[in-house]
Structure 1
Amino acid sequence: MIRIKILPLLAVFLFVLAVSCNSSQQKEQKVSKGYDLVRLNRIADVQKELIAKGQVGSNQVVIFKDGEVIYDSIVNSGLKGDENITDDTLFPIWSMTKPITTVAAMILFEEGKFLLDDPIEKYLPEMANLQCLDEQGKVYPCKKSVTIFDVLAHQTGWGYYPRNIDGQHVLLSDLWYQDLEDFSKSMASIPLQFEPGTRYLYGINTSILGRLIEVISKKSLYDFMKERILIPLEMNHTKFHLTDEELKRLHPLLWTEGEVTGFYKHKYNELTYSKEPKLHFGGAGLVSTTKDYGNFCEMLLNKGTFKGHQILSPSSIDLMNTPINPELDKGTFIGASTGFSLYNLTDPVRDGGLSPKGIFGWGGYHATLFWIDHKNNLYGLIMDRSSYSAREMFIKVRIATYQALR
């Protein structure tokens, strides 16, 4: 394992802050036939470059290959309001919650608790008699029911429904609903953008899936996750709710609003992470540490197993990342199709990341990212917290990774 903690060289931040390089340290330097360490060190150059551009603050990249961490690079910005990353740092992972919720659903699927073509009103009565919108925006009774497959594949017709609260754009809040049952009933009142199963639209689907898991398992989503995923994977710091002490460990968010850029500990959290709301958003609500989420990635890389615990079968892992929807032409994952809340790289040339066809993974609202590569037996994990697009970081880190492989 190589672990590098670096403060970047002098850089001019977007809002004119200086960064100084105080230390550079490497541990357990080793030579491997599988990769070139000198070339792998270019990952840290990418991390420093994007801090200098004002796109990220302190950030961490982990590369795991052939059963061990071969690279672990923390680059701290030293900028006012930012904080150094430690093993205890908590990151809101937002949509990287989705693959965990999807794994929870697939556990129930393997146990025969539901079929993919089951209509969701079989479990959620409020979803009977949904309304759809035609091309002119006119409301009419949907001709088809939403199926669990539609929910998993983001083909329901539900999108995201952000609100403007006191001049702040809020994507999702756990203060808007009492629990997932209340959330589900509220979503049932919103007309679908199209007939279920006919198109792809990224949205609140995985939080609806969380409610389905609650009804089918007869447990809260968090309790089911803890029992079947988080505890077996030793993800002890991955949770929906935080204590006051844990809230202090949240990584600051780099946020730009108008001409003002800064680091914010809580102002733009959107979710409270409080124990009071009994709401577990399966599509966005978890916080995690780098080590915790790395264990989840390791399970996906190992086709469903972790330290002897089989969470899912290899066939379920394959099903989850099978390309279903058309290739994305904008956003972070251009050149990739999507499956069950996972992208799958289908056009490596268009992607431009030197990565093989078939890598899969996902990302979060605040720029956390991961990918799984079965061909090279590796995963990559990027942890930071920024409101900027993560596309440049995602591509450049992968370029730096794959040019180092032998």
Structure 2
Amino acid sequence: MVKFLQFVPLFLLFISCKDPGSKTEAKTERYNQSRLNRIATVQRDIIQKGLTGSNQVLIFKDGQIIYDSIVNSGLRGDENITDQTIFPLWSMTKPITTVAVMILLEEGKIFLDDPIEKHLPEMADPKCQHESGNTYPCTRSVTILDLLAHRSGWGYYPRKSDGQQVLLSDLWYKDLEDFSRSMVSIPLKFEPGSQYQYGINTSILGRLIEVITGKSLYEFLKDRILGPLEMHDTKFHLTDDEKVRLQPLLRNENGVINFYKHKYNELSYLKSSEVQLGGAGMVSTTKDYANFCQMLLNNGSFKGRHIISPTSVELIKTPLNPELENGTFTGCSTGFSLFILTDPVKDGTLSPKGIFGWGGYHGTLFWIDQKNNLFGLVMDRTSQPATDVFRKVRIATYQALN
């Protein structure tokens, strides 16, 4: 172990930067390439501050990649990012599952006001919890809309495992049915639909998809989303070969920067696991997730392939909840597991009102900007807060737009 501050002056010598302009011809009338290249300075800065290790930023505009830069840290225990590097998506799994729900909605197989027990009978007669701690029968059922908007009353329920706080693990359950039934025993923190609380809602929707389609969640996602979007490295499991490609996790432990390949995965990523958590469980590559972002930017289509309708894209990015007052998405409301920028002044990054996106537990981030025909994607793996990273990358991006 090496104290982080002891090697800060030296590690800059080992940073490698992929040529940001290597994959595109600059359209100078749409953006300033020299300003855009300042993002590399941001990428180095967040390494120096111990916010992340090796990281990649990709900016796509007007049908082409205008910036694609990998900055490798050279820190002991970290690994260089390549086009084959795999990242845990954690909550960036949620938008993928949400799109799957939109497919079922478009096909008339579900309705937003469906009570969840219509499809998952075990969830009938939910219990709510009073502020006093006492429970009582909720006045109404949880609906599909409540789950999509994180207004069900279910949150996250971390557990202690080997002395560590674990947010969520597939090893706690036999399959998604077992997961769903286990949630029934947890009282809702408030009346369904009355408040916002981020939590396991999208993973319950993953079970709903299984019941409606008669397929595993992964099979349905492959058939309707991952296959058409050419996201062949996006899945719920890792083979032995793929484990080698997994990016290490940065942890700041009492001022010491350490990297861990598998110790803090929390999820098993076993191919045999039947607990495919639609709110947290997938891994992916930069290229794969960029294809998903491109589909959202294009109002539901990718290379002429229809995934969902523009109406569905509009629906998932509709602000539904009060603005978040602090954290990564300050100045934003939330929709269906997406942030939507509602107050550009409070956000302070030059980003226009209406951009939308989300992030993951281990530092991955994306945003879609349909006004400027642009999306941005940040891929890294860190346990550190992502607020500074996300703000600085966006500031550098929008400073470059003419």
The question of a shared fold, defined as TM-score above 0.5 by the shorter chain, is answered with: yes
Q: Counterparts of 1:25 and 1:118 in 2: how far apart (Å)?
A: 49
Q: Counterparts of 1:16 and 1:200 in 2: how far apart (Å)?
A: 43
Contact 1:336–1:347 (CA under 8 A) maintained in structure 2: yes
Instruction: Say whether 1:68 aligns with 2:51.
Output: no
Runs of 4+ in 1 over 6 A off after TM superposition: none
Distance 1:25 1:201, change over 3 A: closer
Contact 1:56–1:254 (CA under 8 A) maintained in structure 2: yes
Q: Give the fraction of aligned pairs with identical amino acids, expressed as a percent.
A: 68
Instruction: Say whether 1:175 aligns with 2:171.
Output: yes
Q: TM-score scaled to structure 1, two decimals?
A: 0.95
How do 1:256-267 and structure 2 match up within 5 A?
256-267=252-263
1:347 to 337, 340, 343: 343
1:300 to 271, 275, 296: 296
Aligned to 1:205: 201
Q: Counterparts of 1:31 and 1:118 in 2: how far apart (Å)?
A: 48
User: Which deviates the most, 13-22 or 50-59?
Assistant: 13-22
Deviation at 1:218, TM superposition (A): 1.1
Aligned to 2:401: 405
Q: How many residues are paired up?
A: 395
How do 1:273-312 and structure 2 match up within 5 A?
273-312=269-308
Contact 1:92–1:366 (CA under 8 A) maintained in structure 2: yes
Aligned to 1:360: 356
Contact 1:91–1:251 (CA under 8 A) maintained in structure 2: yes
Give CA-to-partner distance per residue, 1:292-350, whole Å, 9 cap, x none.
Answer: 00000000000000001010000100000100000001221000000000000000010
The alignment partner of 2:345 has SS state of: helix
The alignment partner of 1:182 has SS state of: helix
1:254 to 250, 258, 261: 250
The alignment partner of 1:62 has SS state of: strand
Aligned to 1:119: 115
Instruction: Say whether 1:97 aligns with 2:93.
Output: yes
Q: Counterparts of 1:339 and 1:216 in 2: how far apart (Å)?
A: 23
Give CA-to-partner distance per residue, 1:117-150, whole Å, 9 cap, x none.
Answer: 0000001011011110012121111111000000
Instruction: Say whether 1:85 aligns with 2:84.
Output: no
Distance 1:292 1:199, change over 3 A: same
Aligned to 1:110: 106
Contact 2:50–2:252 (CA under 8 A) maintained in structure 1: no
Distance 1:294 1:22, change over 3 A: closer
Distance 1:350 1:140, change over 3 A: same
Instruction: Say whether 1:42 aligns with 2:38.
Output: yes
Contact 1:14–1:261 (CA under 8 A) maintained in structure 2: no
User: Which deviates the most, 26-35 or 165-174?
Assistant: 26-35
Aligned to 1:7: none
The alignment partner of 1:74 has SS state of: strand
Contact 2:25–2:66 (CA under 8 A) maintained in structure 1: no
Instruction: Say whether 1:388 aligns with 2:374.
Output: no
Superposed CA RMSD? 1.3
Instruction: Say whether 1:326 aligns with 2:322.
Output: yes
Aligned to 2:137: 141
The alignment partner of 1:175 has SS state of: helix
Give CA-to-partner distance per residue, 1:75-128, whole Å, 9 cap, x none.
Answer: 000000000000000000100000000000000000000110000000101101
The letter of the residue matching 1:379 is F
The letter of the residue matching 1:349 is V
Aligned to 2:236: 240
Aligned to 1:165: 161
Unaligned runs of 5+ in 1: 1-11
Q: Counterparts of 2:391 and 2:239 in 1: how far apart (Å)?
A: 35
Distance 1:75 1:150, change over 3 A: same
Contact 2:350–2:398 (CA under 8 A) maintained in structure 1: yes
Unaligned runs of 5+ in 2: none
The letter of the residue matching 1:373 is D
1:230 to 226, 229, 235: 226
User: Which deviates the most, 165-174 or 357-366?
Assistant: 165-174
Instruction: Say whether 1:184 aligns with 2:180.
Output: yes
The letter of the residue matching 2:219 is D
The letter of the residue matching 1:97 is T
Aligned to 1:9: none
Contact 1:363–1:369 (CA under 8 A) maintained in structure 2: yes
Contact 1:14–1:54 (CA under 8 A) maintained in structure 2: no
Q: Counterparts of 1:229 and 1:178 in 2: how far apart (Å)?
A: 25
